[in-house]
Structure 1
Amino acid sequence: MGEGLPGTSGEAGELRGRLKGDLVDRLGLSAISSMVSGGDPARARAELEVACQAILNTRGYEGLGDEERAEVVRQVIDEVVGLGPLQPLLDDDTVTEVMVNGCEHLFYERAGEIHAAERVFESADQILMVIDRILAPLGRRLDRSSPIVNARLANGDRVNAVAQPIAIDGPVVTIRKFSNRISTLDQLVERGSLPSWYAQLLRWAVLLRSDIAVAGGTGSGKTTLLNALSCEIGTAERIVTIEDSAELRFDTHPDVVRLEARDASIEGSGEVTIRDLVKNALRMRPDRIVVGECRGGEAIDVLQAMSTGHDGSLTTLHAGTAEEAVLRIVLMSRFGMDLPTDIIEEQVASALDLIVMSCRMADGARFITSMSAVSRAEDGGVRLDECVAFDRSRRTWHLVSEPPCVARAVADGTLDREEVEAWRRSAS
């Protein structure tokens, strides 16, 4: 990553500190502050780089090579204008997540694997200064009275910050970077996350207005798949998306309403929950409702929406298997409405059509794994029929059975019989 400077980390920090001090002496705090707040970060960086290079040409900085000069200048400007050690990681498109664990540890995720960064923060105050720089434009703050903050940056990156006394070993920051590199099923096929015949099956499921829940663990690619499925919705349909932090992107769809939940203010007012937004979305004439993730009582509202004329809705949830996904939906629905379990299970069976699983393997690779059709069991509970099976050891897929929607669509002419027959041959 090219983050290192010659000598020990202490010497590198001393060099940065000296250059920053000389920069303040040369330009003055007011001039630097004016540059930083001027609204043109690129121009501020260019002007500060010129000043830093001029300082490095004076006495006291002899012996630095061209690469070392460029590196120390970049690091100082990152601290003055950017986000310090976080800046090169946020600028790197291959980095998908950044994690600060106090002063001594800074990690980042690339291609599903976690690595330790070469450069870390020098003090808790430096971390808090960076957090404040992130949150200030959003009208948020992190302190002892409000030690947990969730926010979204202008570019869609999701930020969670935790400070003392909640974070015992110093401020903790987690930044989930929004990836705009994958937004279609075809791109997932190219990456090897699923075969083309499986992608076609998912494409048909969206076309046929199946209600789909995407389930998986943290970082397994649920949101990426949800975005790809959402982009298969026809442009004649009106979409309402509901998220904790708005990550879904629609580059070409003309009729998308994006709603985002909001935490309570410091005074304890102004909270807008996912459940509030789901209820409000029903009044916005949606053809499709896409809920970024079900985490609580809103699950019952999503199920009711799916069952009352909003077919083709999509959501995600945390679960390791399709069976666990059903249990979680039932549990979360009971948070939203105190109904007997068997009544909620009937609601699940009538509302959901498909559960699609995603997973992240030990080496960081992400796959769209199994698909299960959801229906009502003879005893009134939820029946799951595996449609697509995934062999984790071989990383291969097998079509077990077709979802019922395919045969129905062929019978009523929605899908072309010859096209489906060709697909069946490719999937066998």
Structure 2
Amino acid sequence: MFRQFTRSDKPAGSNVVDLGAKTGRPAVSPTATDPLDQELVQRLELKSHLHDILLDRLNLAVIDKVQPEELRREVAALVAQVLSDESRPMRTEEFKQLVDELLDEVLGFGPLEPLLADPTVNDILVNSHRSVYVERFGVLEKTRVRFRDERHLLRIIDKIVSRVGRRVDESSPWVDARLEDGSRVNAIIRPCAIDGPSVSIRKFARNPLTFERLVELGTLNDHAAALLKALVQARMNVLISGGTGSGKTTMLNAMSSYIGARERVVTIEDAAELQLQQDHVVRLETRPAGPSGTGMVTQRDLVRNALRMRPDRIIVGEVRGAETFDMLQAMNTGHEGSMTTVHANTARDALGRIEQMVTMIGLDFPVSAIRAQIASGLNVVIQLNRLSDGSRRVMSIAEITGMEGSTITMQDIFVFRKTGIGEDGSVRGHFTATGIRPQCYDRLVQAGVDLRPDLFSAEGVRA
């Protein structure tokens, strides 16, 4: 049966692009002097040997048509034959694991597959072919996952980026891509990556976190969640601010679930990862320049095009350049209820970054005019931080109240007050209302939102 989807006239390894050769540098293989134990080195060498045999025998043109179980049986039979011919005894559990790893090499992303399938892993960070870290529950930990050598890692990178029409080589040594499940991938290779290729994967949540779940995790309390839900339903413009990995996209997904089903939403992202549940959603994604240096589509191009698509709301995954000006224009000209995220350490810093990015368009706008656009377009800034214990918290929900002279005025409605560090390293504190009722409260009521005034009382709302 194996001959139905195998071929013997194909040279080993001819199905892959050897990016290691493109770099002009020799691949580095693990040796006994490496920190890896000898048993792991031998296992990597054995898997490499069997992988080459599989590549020589498999007919990749028809392999997708073969049922997974049938393919597994035939691969297991071939591996058992090779191990027997070479007198390499192996325990049953080790044999099954080896077959799984070989199937991952042929059909998936090799050593990354078990990490991608692990629901407890949020981020996968490949520092080099010998060093792989993961983040679980906000804490980084080193794994025993290894790639055979640098060429092996480069082949996996090429497999990832080529599936979404991207490329990575010496002329374009870094790339943003996404996996089929929506996981976000960044890869960078030599000469920019001095110690060899590096890959960062932010895994796509199969079940987006809801406000109820965020409350359980301590990200915010139920009173603040009720306010955020009301802000979305009343079509307020929201800016979500925070550092890398602070949960901005998670918060954006949670808030977007309260957008009405009758509203037309256009999303704009560098790498699509938003998970909107509505039916009437148009998803747009940027495109890098091609090999000739042409064909680039930027976020600003997509925001301007979105304005012609009759959107009720525009959601930009993250503003980081000149598209910020067009986003503010949209918020000020009838596209209420729009949302976006930005990298910043505090809510006040977020407004400063928005101001700086508007100036990137190169027009000589007075600072006062830019700030007036920001104060008029944005209603609320939500600040998220990733704390020292790995937890992600909403640090503040601040309302933009207007202008005083040339300064944008803000007031905190909810804040997280840190009180110390526990013996186990956990951050102690509580999320509480400041006692200030937002100026937009009347607008929320007029929009038909049922929001109790006592939610904003500073008494008895700690979580």
Give me the TM-score of the superposition, normalised by structure 2: 0.84
Q: Structure 1 residue 37: deviation in Å? A: 5.0
Match of 1:328 among 336, 353, 365: 353
CA deviations 1:26-48 (Å, max 9, x no partner) are: xx725353454548666544532
Please tell me whether the aligned partners of residues 41 and 81 of structure 1 are also in contact (alpha carbons under 8 angstroms): no
Instruction: Give the direction of change, closer, same or farther, for the CA distance of 1:302–1:156 in structure 2 (3 Å limit).
Output: same
- Alignment correspondent of 2:430: 396
CA distance in 2, matches of 1:234, 1:422: 26
- Alignment correspondent of 1:33: 60
Instruction: Give the direction of change, closer, same or farther, for the CA distance of 1:239–1:10 in structure 2 (3 Å limit).
Output: same
- The number of residues matched between the two structures is 415
- Alignment correspondent of 2:283: 258
Listed as ranges, the matches of 1:309-324 within 5 Å are: 309-324=334-349
Amino acid at match of 2:430: T
Q: Structure 1 residue 54: deviation in Å? A: 4.8
Gaps of at least 5 residues in structure 1 are none
CA distance in 2, matches of 1:157, 1:235: 26
Amino acid at match of 1:16: K
Instruction: Give the direction of change, closer, same or farther, for the CA distance of 1:35–1:42 in structure 2 (3 Å limit).
Output: farther
- Alignment correspondent of 2:45: 14
CA distance in 1, matches of 2:67, 2:220: 42
- Alignment correspondent of 2:75: 48
Please tell me whether residue 367 in structure 1 is matched to residue 393 in structure 2.
yes
CA distance in 2, matches of 1:190, 1:277: 37
Please tell me whether the aligned partners of residues 78 and 87 of structure 1 are also in contact (alpha carbons under 8 angstroms): yes
Match of 1:420 among 452, 455, 461: 452
- Alignment correspondent of 1:155: 181
CA deviations 1:100-129 (Å, max 9, x no partner) are: 122221111111111112021121111111
Matched residue SS, 2:134: strand
CA distance in 1, matches of 2:96, 2:37: 12
Please tell me whether residue 60 in structure 1 is matched to residue 87 in structure 2.
yes
CA deviations 1:72-110 (Å, max 9, x no partner) are: 222222223322221111111221111212222111111
Listed as ranges, the matches of 1:244-283 within 5 Å are: 244-251=270-277, 253-283=278-308
Please tell me whether the aligned partners of residues 284 and 302 of structure 2 are also in contact (alpha carbons under 8 angstroms): yes
Listed as ranges, the matches of 1:182-197 within 5 Å are: 182-197=208-223
CA distance in 1, matches of 2:81, 2:418: 58
Q: Structure 1 residue 65: deviation in Å? A: 2.2
- Alignment correspondent of 2:151: 125
Match of 2:371 among 345, 356, 359: 345
Please tell me whether the aligned partners of residues 47 and 102 of structure 2 are also in contact (alpha carbons under 8 angstroms): yes
- Alignment correspondent of 2:403: 377
Amino acid at match of 2:429: R
Aligned identity (percent) is 40
Matched residue SS, 2:383: strand
Please tell me whether residue 293 in structure 1 is matched to residue 318 in structure 2.
yes
Q: Which moved more, 1:212-221 or 1:329-338?
A: 329-338
Matched residue SS, 1:96: strand
Give me the TM-score of the superposition, normalised by structure 1: 0.90
Amino acid at match of 2:58: A
Instruction: Give the direction of change, closer, same or farther, for the CA distance of 1:43–1:316 in structure 2 (3 Å limit).
Output: farther
Matched residue SS, 2:276: coil
CA distance in 1, matches of 2:213, 2:77: 42
Amino acid at match of 1:209: R
CA distance in 2, matches of 1:45, 1:172: 31
Amino acid at match of 1:202: L
CA distance in 2, matches of 1:201, 1:34: 55
Please tell me whether the aligned partners of residues 72 and 99 of structure 2 are also in contact (alpha carbons under 8 angstroms): no
CA distance in 1, matches of 2:113, 2:381: 38
Matched residue SS, 1:333: helix
